[in-house]
Amino acid sequence: MSKKGSKAIGRRGGESDELAALKKMARLLEILTRLNLQTMKGDRTQAQMVLMLDEVGCGPSEIADLLGTTVNTVNVTLSNAKKRKRKK
């Protein structure tokens, strides 16, 4: 096998290790995020948590996943909040 061929194989192996490390880091970040949310929740309602996560830039599917609810529930909560805001 040429040097060129062995470098490609080595690189693929490195990419695989890097991908595994990135997946592990992503999983750890997810765990930390969920723990942080539990700490932040305190006396807040689910609706308040939805609004807070929306304000920091999370999308409905991310919010639903983080709070263990459905995307539909998140969308309804956000819609109701917008309606209340317009009434003021």
Q: Which two tokens stand for residue 6?
A: 């062995």
Q: What is the pLDDT of residue 12?
A: 54
Q: Which two tokens stand for residue 22?
A: 């990135």
Q: pLDDT-derived band of residue 5, with 50, 70 and 90 as boundaries?
A: very low
Q: What is the pLDDT of residue 49?
A: 94
Average pLDDT (6-29) is: 76
pLDDT digits (tens, 9 = 90+) for 20-73: 999 999 999 988 988 888 888 888 999 999 999 999 999 999 999 999 999 999
* SS3 per-residue string spanning the chain: CCHHHHHHHHHHHHHHHHHHHHHHHHHHHHHHHHHHHHHHHCCCCHHHHHHHHHHCCCCHHHHHHHHCCCHHHHHHHHHHHHHHHHHC
Task: Give the mean pLDDT of the chain.
Answer: 85
Q: What is the pLDDT of residue 15?
A: 75
Q: Which two tokens stand for residue 69?
A: 């609810």
